[in-house]
Structures are given as C-alpha cells and as structure tokens.
Amino acid sequence: MSESGSKLTELSSLGEFGLIEYLTKNIPIVNKSTVKGIGDDAAVLKPTPGSQVLVSKDLLIEGVHFDLMYMPLKHLGYKAAVVNFSDIAAMNGIPKQIVVGISVSSKYTVEALDEIYAGIKKACAVYKVDFVGGDTTSSVSGLFISVTVIGEVKKDKITYRSGAGVNDLICVSGDLGAAYMGLLILEREKKAFQANPDLKPDLSDHDYILQRQLKPEARTDIVTLFSDEKIVPTSMIDISDGLASETLHICKASDKGCLIYEEKIPIDQDTYETAKEFGIVPTVAALNGGEDYELLFTIKQSDYDKIKDSQDVTVIGYITEKTEGEKLVTTDNHLFDLKAQGWDALKKRDLNKLTSNKKKS
Ligand code: ADP
Ligand code: MG
C-alpha cells in the first residue's frame, strides 16, 4: 500500500463529491468517440461510423478476486482495467472507454484510493482508453471495483466464440501458466510471513511470473496484428480460466471438436521450473491455471503463412468434427479427453499443498 507517508486522509474528510473531484481531476480524453467524459450525469459517446459497440464488465471483490496482502493497490487498479480490455480484444475489438464503480469501507484512506486510481489511469494511458465516468459508494466491509468497458469493432471483424470450422488452426498468443505460478509464489510467501512475520518474502528470480499475476496485459497488440495481416480469426476467447476451459468454450459454442498437442503449448522457462518446484506438471498449470489473459483463437489454414513468423503466436492444434470429441495428445503420444479441471479446484488443491510442504530454505 502507499501508506509510507505518515499522514493519511480519512475518506469522510473529503465527502463524496470532494472525493470524486479529487480522484478524477485532470483525466484526459484521447478518443474521437468520446464526446463528454466525467462531469455530467452521463458520459456521451459517438461510435466511429461503421463500427459496432462492444460492452463488457468485470466485478472484483476483495478476498474473492484479490488479496491486498500481496496485491499493491496500484496494480489492482491496473489489473481491474486491463482484464476488461482483454474481453474487448477477445472480440477482435479495441477498448475505447471505461466507467468504474468503486465501493469502499472506512478502513480505506484517500491515499489508498489514489493509488488504485493511479493504476486505472496508467492502464488507460497505456491502452489509449478514456476514463469517462463511474460511481462511488461506501461499503460495510472491504473493497469492490467494477469496471465497465466500451470498445469498438468493425462489423465484418467481430469475432465470436462460435465461428470455428473443421481444420481451422487453434492458436494462442504469448505463453501460459505463468500467472498461476506467480500466484503460488505469492501465496507461499504470504503463508511463510503469517507463520513468521520476521521472514522477508523470497520473491527473487521470479520477476516474470510475478508480473504476470500482479500486472497482466491485454493482447490488443494481437488485434492490431490481425488487422495488419488482414486476418479475421474464425473464433476467439481470452484465457482467464486456463487453456482447457477456454478451448472447450470455443468447441461448445462452435459445435466442434478439437485436437491439442501438449508439446506445442507455450510455457515460459520460469513457469516451467516453478511448476516443477511445486510438484505440478507444467502443462497442467498451462491447461488449468487462470489469469494469463492471452488470446485463444482459430484461423483458417490459408491464413497460416500470415502468422507463422510471429514470435507471439503458437499453433497448438486444430479443430475437428464434433463427433471426434475434444482431445489432448500428450508428449508421449497418448490421447486424452481434454477436461477443464476448473481453476478454482486446482487452486484449492495446490494451496493446500503449500501449507503441507515445507518452504525451501
Ligand atoms: P450521480 O449522483 O448522478 O450518480 P455522481 O456525483 O455520482 O453523479 O457523479 C458525478 C460525475 O462523476 C459523473 O460524471 C460520474 O460518472 C463521475 N464519477 C462518479 N464516481 C466516479 C468514480 N468513482 N470514478 C470516476 N468517475 C466518477
Ligand atoms: Mg453516482
């Protein structure tokens, strides 16, 4: 938290209007489609001619979706915005505006909210999104952040989950499983700290996976790549609940089957080694770990040449007839049904392991 300075300001000292004014001063508008931002009863938007409007919302609740013991407030604000941008990217769209609802208890200070807003504003600056409104209320306990994002996409580029065709290539951006390994590292250090508050957290050598957990990015750059290469994916989804679950969503919505090759699943070296250290099969982390916010999409085989040189895209399998089912070919050449273990269940299991495992010295 930002509470390094000695003087903290109680929320009540500003009052609701004072607080809103304080948090929202100097918010810039960069998009043509924003006619009026914060300051009236509603924002006014004017979608780009020829575009359709995308709307999505995510609600984050303290203790359920984030843990302030290791989540810096600025990162929380950043992540709350970015996970919404990711949903727009998953429709092949570009995020343009957000509105933010925030509900806080009196244990929070003006400085704490300022940090959260710094994160939200930073995300808006990085992704060129206008912050155009919100609402502020008090809560009985804890913090709730709800972000609604508005995006745009040309009608002929909208990408649903439902468009995958037989023999289309299944692709993912970036690498998978890292955010989950970052979470396990943070949970391990939290437990160690709770057992012995004198222990310094040992987060060394894990910059990448920690960043993947604490400060995820939305792959709007892949949407730009599609646009540059004149590709319209046949289906797409963002990976928030693990590769297995999202692949099954695409198969179900498209009424198709799939074949995924375990050996093709992109996994970063640090993710791989950390998984091994925790006694987790790295591909299990990639298949079932959440919050990577990469894109999973299918393209026609004829588009393969356009993506084959991209460092950011990996082909991991292809779409089959529904009757073939959803299958995973393991590295040792066995065929399994692709199952979504559900990342909540996985988390519970692995977190239990953390308590029983001795922390390595
Ligand atoms: P109302 O009473 O009509 O809901 P508010 O006083 O809540 O109006 O809001 C005034 C202006 O401040 C509006 O433009 C609203 O979108 C904006 N606003 C309120 N709360 C927030 C917030 N937490 N973040 C950003 N903008 C906010
Ligand atoms: Mg209001």
Global model pTM greater than 0.85: yes
* 37 pocket-lining for ligand 1 (C-beta < 6 Å): no
| Residues 123 and 168 placed together within one structural domain of the fold | no
Domain that holds residue 190: 161-357
Q: Which atom in ligand 1 lies closest to the alpha carbon of residue 133?
A: 16
Residue at 3 is within a domain:
no
Q: Which atom in ligand 1 lies closest to the alpha carbon of residue 117?
A: 24
| Residues 349 and 203 placed together within one structural domain of the fold | yes
| Residues 196 and 319 placed together within one structural domain of the fold | yes
Render each residue's pLDDT in the chain as its tens digit; 361 residues. Answer: 444 556 899 988 998 889 999 999 999 999 999 999 999 999 999 999 999 999 999 999 999 899 998 899 999 999 999 999 999 999 999 999 999 999 999 999 999 999 999 999 999 999 999 999 999 999 999 999 999 999 999 999 999 999 999 999 999 999 999 999 999 999 999 888 888 888 877 778 899 999 999 999 999 999 999 999 999 999 999 999 999 999 999 999 999 999 999 999 999 999 999 999 999 999 999 999 989 999 999 999 999 999 999 999 999 999 999 999 999 999 999 999 999 887 777 788 888 877 655 444 3
Residue at 125 is within a domain:
yes
* 15 pocket-lining for ligand 1 (C-beta < 6 Å): no
Residue at 182 is within a domain:
yes
* 309 pocket-lining for ligand 1 (C-beta < 6 Å): no
**Residue that terminates a domain, selected from 138, 154, 170:** 154
Counting ligands in written order, which one lies closest to the CA of residue 103?
1
Q: What is the pLDDT of residue 360?
A: 44
Q: Which atom in ligand 1 lies closest to the alpha carbon of residue 131?
A: 25
Q: What is the pLDDT of residue 237?
A: 98
| Residues 202 and 331 placed together within one structural domain of the fold | yes
Nearest residue (by CA) to ligand 1, atom 2, is 41
Alpha-carbon distance 224 to 317, whole Å? 23
Residue at 95 is within a domain:
yes
Q: What is the pLDDT of residue 359?
A: 45
pLDDT in tens, 66-100: 999 889 999 999 999 999 999 999 999 999 999 99
What's the CATH code of the domain at 217?
A: 3.90.650.10
Number of domains in the chain: 2
| Residues 135 and 178 placed together within one structural domain of the fold | no
| Residues 53 and 193 placed together within one structural domain of the fold | no
Q: In the numeric block, which tokens belong to residue 276?
A: 């091994």
Q: In the numeric block, which tokens belong to residue 286?
A: 């990639």
What's the CATH code of the domain at 96?
A: 3.30.1330.10
| Residues 43 and 126 placed together within one structural domain of the fold | yes
| Residues 22 and 63 placed together within one structural domain of the fold | yes
Dihedral of alpha carbons 77, 101, 178, 320, sign: negative
Cα(347) to ligand 2 centroid in Å equals: 36
Angle between helices 178-195 and 207-214 in degrees, nearest 10: 100
**Residue that terminates a domain, selected from 154, 188, 203:** 154
Cα(63) to ligand 1 centroid in Å equals: 26
* 20 pocket-lining for ligand 1 (C-beta < 6 Å): yes
* 332 pocket-lining for ligand 1 (C-beta < 6 Å): no
| Residues 345 and 255 placed together within one structural domain of the fold | yes
Cα(19) to ligand 2 centroid in Å equals: 12
Residue at 1 is within a domain:
no
Beta partners for 98? 131, 149
**Residue that terminates a domain, selected from 99, 124, 154:** 154
Q: Which atom in ligand 1 lies closest to the alpha carbon of residue 40?
A: 14
| Residues 221 and 344 placed together within one structural domain of the fold | yes
Residue at 2 is within a domain:
no
Residue at 32 is within a domain:
yes
| Residues 197 and 234 placed together within one structural domain of the fold | yes
String of DSSP letters for 283-338:
HHHHHH-----EEEEEE-GGGHHHHTT-TTEEEEEEEE-GGG-EEEE-TTS-EEE-
Cα(142) to ligand 2 centroid in Å equals: 19
Residue at 342 is within a domain:
yes
Counting ligands in written order, which one lies closest to the CA of residue 37?
1
| Residues 29 and 137 placed together within one structural domain of the fold | yes
Contacts of 37 (CB under 8 A, 6+ apart): 27, 29, 43, 130, 131, 132, 133
